[in-house]
A and B are shown apart, each in its own frame.
Chain A
């Protein structure tokens, strides 16, 4: 049998380990998700909805997600300040489930002339020259384990403003997760607008 002081030390040791683990998990992961996907593709020849590691599962549980690193220092602030609208680039938002990210061709219709000498625009032009699309990283996405199927179009038609879920884009350069889109946030709004709060409205 362990003595009282010994068992106390064991408890303290376990608690310390748990603390270190949680701190490690809690640190925002700044690796690009693309890089993660590449490693996964090399490691496994199969697709499964399972988490890649226990750590990933814990991260998902605590809603810690990688901070996306965008390939270009795009700035929403400047575009909106120059009188553009969200729908000028996110063209599908009124009609489709996804808002749509503009292709490099759409960017270049303006940037052929405008600010063509800026370094970031030169990078953009280089993408077009190579015939590549810009590898934008996803900012807002529901984890697959929450089984949410979101559709932009009916929300826009119901008069929900973009900033309700995406924050004030006039103050953001690259998009950041300004609003925590948890179920409480969605359901509150659905209740206020008397939209359906039936489970299978969103979860299927």
Chain B
């Protein structure tokens, strides 16, 4: 009997999975079509000088604590944004490439389905929301994230007084046991939306700027709405230099990297 049931079982489960997948993708599609905005960031790697002004700005804007040397050595350093360094060629003919990496706000985010409490969820505007209140600290999302951009609060963050006076009142200070990550400066998005509504107008391209994009000296970071075909982000995303990080994983990231040549060819240009 068992042997006869097995193909039926596997057939049924395949059917169920197919059904689930179609349901999910159609849900995602309806959500996308309803959404008015699709926030995205373009990172021009040919412009990035690796100055890390974005990293500093991000720390200041989002109340990101520093964990100290000991914790950092254990891999618990928290930087919502980091600038990765890659060397090409041997000394003295060496070239350095910088890649600013932060939450890619994936459309098919691996962090979302693994969260047992829906603390990590997809908003109608396509952001990967992180609700600190819901987070119970399972850290599944950080394990699922292929970009390594989610950070866990192993301890309550600490600021030497009077440094606590520079904390941004528009952003929560996360406590021990919750996961955090780049939010695309959602507090700035919300503030811009409220201002635009008060002025009875639509959001314009450039109204919203995350702290990193605002502080970038060579303007390598551009933020905007992908659903608006006239936006700077849409224009740059259509460039033939456009690529995305770990695209082959199918995460559909909303951070677009621009570069002249592909990675790992080892050729000098």
Q: Hey, which bits of chain A sit against chain B, CB under 8 A? A: 41, 44-50, 95, 144-147, 149, 151, 153-154, 157, 198-201, 203-204
A200's closest neighbor in chain B, by CB? B129
- In contact, A50 and B161 (Cβ under 8 angstroms): no
B22 interface contact, C-beta 8 A: no
- In contact, A147 and B172 (Cβ under 8 angstroms): yes
Q: What does DSSP make chain A's interface, helix, strand, loop or mixed? A: mixed
In the assembled complex, the CB of A20 is this many whole angstroms from the nearest CB of chain B, namely: 28
7 pairs of residues in contact across A and B, judged by CB atoms under 8 Å: A46-B161, A144-B175, A147-B133, A153-B194, A157-B197, A200-B186, A204-B171
> Which of A47, A147, A151 sits near B158, CB closer than 8 Å?
A47
CB neighbours (8 Å) of A49 from chain B are 156-157, 173-175
- In contact, A204 and B183 (Cβ under 8 angstroms): yes
Most chain B CB inside 10 Å of its own CB: which residue of A144, A149, A153, A201? A149
CB neighbours (8 Å) of A203 from chain B are 131-133, 172
- In contact, B187 and A204 (Cβ under 8 angstroms): yes
Counting chain B residues whose Cβ lies within 8 A of the other chain, the interface size class is 20 to 34
CB neighbours (8 Å) of B160 from chain A are 45-47
> Which of B131, B158, B172, B175 sits near A46, CB closer than 8 Å?
B158
Considering the chains assembled together, what is the distance between the CA atoms of A198 and B176 in angstroms? Answer: 24
Considering the chains assembled together, what is the distance between the CA atoms of A144 and B186 in angstroms? Answer: 18
CB neighbours (8 Å) of B198 from chain A are 95, 153-154, 157
Interface string of B113-138 (1 = CB under 8 A from A): 00000000101100101011110000
Considering the chains assembled together, what is the distance between the CA atoms of A144 and B175 in angstroms? Answer: 9
A41's closest neighbor in chain B, by CB? B161
> Which of A41, A46, A154 sits near B197, CB closer than 8 Å?
A154
B164 interface contact, C-beta 8 A: yes
CB neighbours (8 Å) of B190 from chain A are 149, 151, 200-201, 204
Given contacts A147-B132, A200-B131, A203-B131, contact A45 B161 (CB under 8 A): yes
In the assembled complex, the CB of B151 is this many whole angstroms from the nearest CB of chain A, namely: 16
